[in-house]
Structure 1
Amino acid sequence: MDADVKKDEKVHGSYRPSVQRLTHIADLLCIVLLVIGGRAVALGGELDILLSTLGVVAALVGRYLIQRERTELAVPLLLGVMMVLVSVSMVVNQGLYSGALLSYPCLLIAAGMLASRRVFLGLLVSMLGMVALITWISLNGMHTYVAVPHGPGRMLVVSSLLVLGAVAMWLLANDLHHARENLDHEIFQLENSQASLNYLAQHDPLTDLPNRSLIEERVGNAIGRARQSGKMVALLFLDLDHFKIINDSLGHIAGDQLLREIASRLKKVVRGGDTVSRQGGDEFLIVLAEVDSIDAMTAVLMRIQTLVAQPLTLQDMELVVSLSIGISVYPQDGDDFGTLLKKADTAMYQAKSAGRNAYRLFSDEMSADTYARLGMEQDLRQALVRNEFELHYQPIVDMRDGRVVAVEALLRWLHPERGMVGPDAFIQVAEQSGLIVEMGIWVLQQACQQMVIWQDEGLPEVLISVNLSAVQMHRGDLEQSVRDALQRTGLKASLLELELTESMLLHDSEASILLLQRLKQLGVKLAIDDFGTGYSNLSYLQRFQVDRLKIDRSFVQSIISNEQNRAIVTAIIQMAHSLELETTAEGIEDEATRQLLAALGCDCGQGYLFSRPVSASKFMAQVR
C-alpha cells in the first residue's frame, strides 16, 4: 500500500485522497482529452480541437497545483473547467444527444467525493441549467440538434469517457477501502488501549490486586448488603513491618517481589466474598464482608499473620516478615469508606507503636497517633522558621540523545536530630495541617530562583518541575503563588512545569478546571505524576490540558520481565502520542530498561540510571 494512501482522511465531510492519487487522475484526464482531441483533428472539427486543447491545459494546471499540495484549488478548477467544456460542446453540437453528456454523472460523483458541498451544489445547479438551456434553444428553433449516427468515432469518444469515469472511480473507491481498513485498525488499537487503561484504573499493576477505586466500591457494596442482613463489615489496614529496610538493602526489584508474594498469600487466606487490595507502597486493605462476630474476624486475622510469617527467600536470603494491622468495623466505627479507612489507619499506627507484628481494633481511646502527628506538625512549623528545608534535584533526560531537558525539584528536610528526612515521612502531616501551602510557596520560590541561577551560570534552558499538593490547589492561592514566584525570580513561565497526581483531578470541579486553565494561560506546563496508579481517565487529559504524562515507576521497573506492564506502558505511550502529549518514564535503573522504553517511543526518562536526586551544586557539576 502506498504511504500516501495511508494518509487519506475525511475533511469537512468530503473525501480527501492522496496527492499521488489525484495526480494519476489528472494524468488520465490528459490522456482521454488527447484521444478526443486527436479524433477532432482527424475530422477537422476546429471547436472540438479548441475545447480539447483548453481541457488539456486545465488538466496540466490542475496537476501543477496538485503537486504543490493546493488540492483545494485544483479540484474545483478541474471540475469547473471540465463542466464548462462539456457544456459548450453539447450546446454547439448534438445537445442532449451528445455522448459528452456521460461526463455529467462522472463529474458529480467526483465532486461529491472530492469537493466541498458548495462546489458540488454549484456543479449540479449549473448542469441542470445547461440541460434547461439546451432544451430552450431547441424548442425555440435556435438550433436543431440531431443525433450523430453511430460509428467508430462516436464509439471512441463514449468509450474514452466511460474508461475515464470507471478508472477514476475505481482508484478513489480503492483508496476509500484502504482508508476504511486503516480507520478500523486505529479504532481497534484505541479500544485495546482503552481496555488496558480501564483495567489499570481499577487494579494495582505490581500485584494485580484491586486498587483504591475498586476497593471503595466493594466496601460500599458490602455495607449495603450488611444493612439488609444485620451483619458487620470489617476493613483491615495492613502495613508491612520494616519494608523500607528490606527495600533499601535488597533493592526495589526484591521489594516488588516481596509485595507480590505477600499479595498472593493474602488472597489465599481470605474467603470468597472478601477483597484484598493494595493501597499503595507497602500497605494493603482487606474487606471482610458479612462478618458474624468479632471472634470470626479474629480467626481470619490469625490466619493472615500465620501465613504471612512463613519464611520466604529473596536474593538467596531467607526472610520472615510481619504485618501491623488496624481494623475498623461497620456499623460501630462508621458507615462509609472514608471514615472506616481513617479509623483503620489510626488503629494500624497503634499496632506499630505497640511493637509491630500485631493487630488492633479501633477504639475512641486511641490517641497516641494523634499526639505523634501533632508533634510532627509542631516540628514542621519550626522547620519553616529555622529554614531546615532544602531542595534536591533529579534530571529528566531525552531518551534519544541523553540531553537533560528538565529537572525535578524534590523537597528534603534536614532534621536537627534525624538527619535528612524524605517527604514520605512528613508530607501527610503537612497536608492535614495545611502547612503544605506555605511549604509549597517556598518550594516554588526556591526552584524558580535556582533555575535562574543555573541559567546565569550557563545552563541551557530546561524545564524545572515542581510537585503540587491537592491542598495547594483547593486551600491555597496557587495561581498567585505561581505568579509571584515567576515575577520575583524572572523565570520564564514556559520553563516551569507543575506536577499533579491523578487523584487531584478526580473531582473534576469547575474551580479546578478554571484554575488549571489560568495556569496554562500564564504559560506554565502541566504534568500528571505517577500516571496509571490512580484514576486513569482519558477525558481529564483533555479537559485539564496537560502536557506530559509521567509513567509510574511500578510499571517501568518490571517492564522487561512483565508482559502485562509492557503492554500497559505501550498503551500509555500510544495514547499519549495520539493526544499530542509527551511521556516521561520514572524509575529507570538500568540500560536495558532505557533501551526498551526508547524503542516503545517514550520521550524522556528519569531514574537512578541517570542520577539520584542531588543538591544544586552537585547537579550543576554533573551537567557540566
Structure 2
Amino acid sequence: MPRGPEDHDGYASSLEPTAFGADRRLRVLVVEDSVLDAQLVEANLADSQLGPYIDVQHVKSLADAEKLLAGETFDCILLDLGLPDGVGPQNVNYLRERNRKIPIVVMTGDDRDESGLRAIHYGAQEYLIKGQVEGDALTRIIRHATERNRLVMELEALREREYFLATHDPLTNLPNRQLFRDRAELALAQARRHDQKVALCFIDLDGFKPVNDIYGHAVGDELLRRVANELAHEVRQTDTVARIGGDEFAILLMPAGGRSEIENLAQRFAQRISDIQRVLDHDVHIAASVGVALYPEHSHTVDELLQHADMAMYCAKGARDKSVCTYDEKIAEAPASHARLAVELGKALNSDQLLPFYQPWWDIDEDRMAGVEVLARWQTPNGELIYPDDFLPATDNSSHLLELGKRMLTQAAQQWVRWREQNIVPPRVEVNLSLRELREQSYLEALLEASERAGLPASQLQIQISGRDLLRNRDTVTGNRIGYLRAQGVRIGLGNVDINTPAALLAPWQIDSIRLSRSWLPHDAAKGLNGQGRVLERMQEVARGKQCDLIVNGVETDSHYRTLREAGCRYLQGFWRAPASDGTALARLLRQAR
C-alpha cells in the first residue's frame, strides 16, 4: 500500500518531557579524541544527581561514531569540534546527516563563542566551553538539548504530516492532482534538458459506481485502495501514480520507453484492475479505460498531456474491443469530425438514408428464430453502407440520437407487419436504446405510440440497453423507466454483458434477457471454452434465477455452435447462421426456417 503520513520519520507527539531515572537511563555518546577530556566529562556526569542513571560511551573519531550509531541509539551526543577526521562545525553536519533524531551538544575550547554559535547554525542544540561546566549543570544542558530536539522533531513531523495531507489523497495515500501536476512539471523540465520521453496514462474505472451503490462505501473505498495498490506495484520508483478524482487515476512514466512498450504497460494497468474480482467478501466486476499521451510526440505542456490523455481515455471507453487508446491525430480531429458528421447525418435522416438491418438470434432447442436485433445502417447515395460505430458517436450530443431511435423502431414495426401480411410468423423485434433515450419518459411514450400506430404490439417489442452503461449508472430514474416499459408489456434486454459480471450487480434489474458480449469466446472453440466453462455455468445460473433468457453473441463458427450447445446454451446469435440483413432478405430466411 502507498505510504501514509504515519509512515514518515518523526516522534510520536507528547507534551510530557522525557523522565530519566531507574526506568529510563540516559545514554550519552562522547566523541572526543582526548582521553583526558573524555574522562573529565564522564566524571562530571557521574558526580551529578542523575549520575547513577547515565550510561556513557566514548569514541575518538567521527568514523568510530558513525559505526557505533549504525547499531546503537543514544539520547545525546557530546561532540568535540577538533577531531582527527573532522574539524569545526562541519562535524555537526556530518553526524546530523546520518542521524537527525539524536541531539548534539558541542564541546569547544574556544571561549569566544564563535565556533559554538556556528555549530548551532549547523544543527547543534547547544554548546559548552570545555572546563567551564560541571556536574548537574552538564546534565541540565544535556536534558535541555534532549527536550528541545524532541520538540523540534515533533514540529518537523507535524509539518511533514500537514504537507502530506495537503498533497495526497487521504483514502489511498497516493499523490493528489496538485502534487501530480507539480511532478509532471518537473518531469517535463527534466525531459527537455536530457532529451527524454514522458508518458501520461489517464485511467477511469468502469463499473465502480454500481459497486459503491450496491455494497456501500466501505466496499467502494476498499476497492479504490486495492486499485491504488495494484497500480503502485506495477510502476518504478521514478514513476508517479496519483488519484485525481473519484474513480480516476493518473500515472506519470518518466523516463518513458517506446510507444509499444508504453501501450503494453498501460494494458497491464487495465488487466491489474480487472483482475480484482473480490473485495471484502463481495464479488465485484470492474474494468478500466486507459488513455495515453506522450511528450514530446503529442504534447509540450502538462495541461496538454492531461487533456490529450483524457481524450484518449474516452476513446478507449467508447471502443468495444480494447481498453487502451493512445492519443493521435484522429482523436484530435474527432470533435470537428463529429460536428461535420452530425450535419451529414441530419441530411441523411431527412432523405431516408438510415435503414434498419436485422440480426437474428436463434432458439436452437426449438430450431427457430427467436428474435431479431435491429441495427442501423447508413446507406449513402452511392450505395456505400456505413456502420453504427462510424456514425453513432456523432449523435451523442445532438437531437439526431432521439430521431434515429424513433425512426428505426417505426421502420422495424412496419417491417414486422409486412412479414405478417406475407403469412410469415414474424419474430420478436429488439431495438437498442441509450441511457439518454431510456431516461426521457416523454420519448419512451412517443416510441410506444409510434410502435403501436405502425402495428407492432408491445408484447412483440424488446428494448435492449447496454449492460456496460446500465451497470455503471445505477439510479432510481433508470429503474423507474425500466419498470414503466415492462408494465406496458415490453421486454427488457441487457446487452454486451461481460461474462464475469457478478450476480449481485445484475440482481437489482428487472430484465428478460442477458446478451453476453462476444469478447470471451475463443476464436476456435473446437478445444473448448479456454477455461470459461465454469464462468458460463455461473451466468446460466444467474439467468435461471432471474427467469430470463441468456443469449450468447458472436457465434461465428460451427465449433462455436457445437461447443455452446454441449454447454447447454439455448439462444445463440452470430454470423454462424446468418449475418445482419435487410427486411427482404430476412423474409427469405424466415420462410426457409418454417
TM-score (norm 1): 0.47
More helix by share: 1
More strand by share: 2
TM-score (norm 2): 0.49
